[in-house]
Amino acid sequence: MSAVPILEVENVSKRFGNFVALNNVSTRFEAGKLSAIIGPNGAGKSTFFNVVSGAFPPSAGTLKFQGRDITGTAQHEFARIGIAKSFQITTVFKQLSAHENVRVAAQMRSARYQLLTPRAKLTALSDRAHELLARVGLASLHDRTAADLAHGQQRALEVAMALASEPTLLLMDEPTAGMSPEETKVMMDLIVQLAAERSVIIVEHKMKLVMGICERLLVLHHGEFLAEGTPDEIRANTEVRRVYLGQG
């Protein structure tokens, strides 16, 4: 009935030795929506994130992006086909300036292996990097070395880098991890804005954070989906309350 889903996960399992982190999970994400994967610690959220973002392939099962099988595709191909991500642990190019961080990410589309053109001449990329920095609220800090930025600013920088590859699907692993309440608010507002233009999937530990903004929630527990639905449905689900909310 509806269009092709942005991402389909079919019977995906991930084992590390004898430990089953994901046990035969299936779901589909519709294009243009803001979805969240939630679950208590050790539920398999990070494994799920790593599998769907291409950090490692699933042990079994299929992954489809816009109807196309992308199981086992190399990490760098994910960005090229339109899947960008921000890591749980801030991952930026520390010794480079904020602007250069975003500029490098932005040049991927047009100038991947140009060896002899001076990059100073590619002004469109430089302008694009400034735009993206402004978008995440870092315009005034563009020449600051990434390592010298505050934690929340580094996280924002990482989002700008993810956006630089012009993704149709943005994956975020605990985007507000380690942030102050003020920073968290700014980040959540940004995520809502970004979700208006593309599909976004967040993996989040703090359920309250995503309840208000997501259209769809999936609850992971012991490597399996326990429930999925709208925030209201999830809130009303007794099973979810038992395993998740009950733990405080």
Partner 1 sequence: MRQAFEFVRRHRVAAVIAFLMVFPLLMPYHALAINILLFGLFAVGFNLLFGYTGLLSFGHAAFLGVGSYLTGIAMVHGGWPWWAAVVLGVACAGVAGLAIGFLAIRTRGIYFSMVTLALGQIVYYAFYKAERWTGGENGLRGIQVPAVEIGGLRLDFLNPVTKYYVILAFVALALWFVSRILASPFGAVIEAVRENDRRAAACGYDVARTKLLVFVLSALICGLAGALRALHLSIVPIDSLHYLLSGQAVMMCLLGGMGTFFGPFVGAGVFLTLEDVVTVFTKHWMAVVGGVFMFFVLFFPSGIWGTLVKRMERVR
> Contact residues for partner 1 (CB under 8 A)?
53, 55, 74-80, 84-85, 87, 91-96, 100, 103-105, 107-108, 111-120, 122, 161-162, 164-165
Q: According to the 3-state scheme, what is the secondary structure of 167-218?
A: CCEEEEECCCCCCCHHHHHHHHHHHHHHHCCCEEEEEECCHHHHHCCCCEEE
Residue 77 or 189 with smaller CB distance to partner 1: 77
Residue 55 or 177 with smaller CB distance to partner 1: 55
* 78-95 residues labelled b (16+ CB within 10 A) or e (exposed): bbebbbbbbbbebebbee
**How many beta carbons lie within 10 A of that of residue 124, not counting itself?**
11
Residue 100 or 204 with smaller CB distance to partner 1: 100
Q: Concatenated DSSP letters for 106-118?
A: HTTTT-SS--SS-
> Minimum distance between the CB of residue 86 and partner 1, rounded to whole angstroms?
9
Residue 26 or 110 with smaller CB distance to partner 1: 110
C-alpha 219/C-alpha 60 separation (Å) is 21
CB 215 within 8 A of CB 233: no
Residue 14 or 103 with smaller CB distance to partner 1: 103
CB 201 within 8 A of CB 51: no
> Minimum distance between the CB of residue 180 and partner 1, rounded to whole angstroms?
24
Residue 100 or 174 with smaller CB distance to partner 1: 100
> Minimum distance between the CB of residue 127 and partner 1, rounded to whole angstroms?
15
> Minimum distance between the CB of residue 17 and partner 1, rounded to whole angstroms?
22
> Minimum distance between the CB of residue 105 and partner 1, rounded to whole angstroms?
5
> Minimum distance between the CB of residue 56 and partner 1, rounded to whole angstroms?
12
C-alpha 156/C-alpha 153 separation (Å) is 5
Map tokens 């996280």 to a residue. Answer: 155
Element containing residue 31 per DSSP (H, E): none
Phi and psi angles of residue 186, each rounded to the nearest 5 degrees, phi first: -60, -45
